[in-house]
Chain A
Amino acid sequence: QQKVQQSPESLSVPEGGMASFNCTSSDRNFQYFWWYRQHSGEGPKALMSIFSDGDKKEGRFTAHLNKASLHVSLHIRDSQPSDSALYFCAARAQTGFASALTFGSGTKVIVLP
C-alpha cells in the first residue's frame, strides 16, 4: 500500500470553476506536506507547502491540513487552462532519507474552456 494516497485519479473542471482534490498519508511519521504540479513534458515544480493544521492560501490556491487524520487537500479557485496538469501530494518525515519526499500517484486536472 502506498504511504501517500491521492483521490480522485482525475477530474475535469470548467474554466473559472473550483477544483478540489485530496491526499491521505498512512504513515504518522509524515508531518510535512507539499503539493507539486507537473505540466506535460516537464519536471514537477513545488506549488506550495503546508506544515501546520488549518488553511494556507497562496493566490488562487488553498491547501488544508488536518494532522490528526493526516489528510491534506488542495483547492484551486477560478481555474484556468494553464492549471491543467498532474498534481502530486508529497510528504516528508522529520528524519530519514536525507529529507527525500514520498509522493502519491497524482491527480490529473483538466480545465475545460
Chain B
Amino acid sequence: EAAVTQSPRNKVAVTGGKVTLSCNQTNNHNNMYWYRQDTGHGLRLIHYSYGAGSTEKGDIPDGYKASRPSQENFSLILELATPSQTSVYFCASGGGGGAGNTLYFGEGSRLIVV
C-alpha cells in the first residue's frame, strides 16, 4: 500500500507566525494533494500538484501556499497563521492515471493557532 508520511503530527503556532507542514510519499505518484478536515465540512481541497515544480489552487486556497520541490515531497505553507486555520491537515497522493485512481492519505497534522 502507498506510504504517505506527514510532519509534524502536532503543532501549536502563534497568530501571525509561519507554519510549514511537510509531506513525503514513497510510491512515485505524480499527483499530491493537501486537504483540511473540519467537523461538518468533511475534507476540503487546499492545493494540489501534478508533479515536481507544479502547484495548483484547490477549493479553499486563500491563506495557504504550496511547494513541490520533488516527486516525493509536497509542503503546505501558512505565511501568516490565523486561528481560523486551526484544523487537521491531510496530505494525499495518487497515480493520476485516470478517474479511477485511489488517493492514499497520510496520518494527518493537527495544527492549533493561538
Secondary structure class of chain A's binding surface, majority of residues: mixed
Q: Which residues, 38 to 82 on A, are CB-close (under 8 Å) to B?
A: 41-46, 49, 51
Interface string of B42-54 (1 = CB under 8 A from A): 1111001110000
Bound-complex Cα distance A2 to B44 (A): 10
Nearest CB to that of B57 among chain A residues? Answer: A97
Q: What is the number of residues of chain B that contact chain A, defined by CB distance less than 8 Å?
A: 30
Bound-complex Cα distance A34 to B9 (A): 26
Nearest CB to that of A106 among chain B residues? Answer: B42
Q: Which one of A51, A98, A104 lies within 8 Å of B48 (CB-CB)?
A: A98
Given contacts A45-B105, A98-B56, A98-B94, 12 further A-B contacts (CB under 8 A): A42-B108, A43-B4, A43-B90, A44-B43, A46-B104, A49-B100, A88-B42, A98-B33, A100-B31, A100-B45, A102-B59, A105-B41
Residues of chain B whose beta carbon lies under 8 Å from any beta carbon of chain A:
4, 31, 33, 35, 40-45, 48-50, 56, 58-59, 90, 94, 96, 98-108
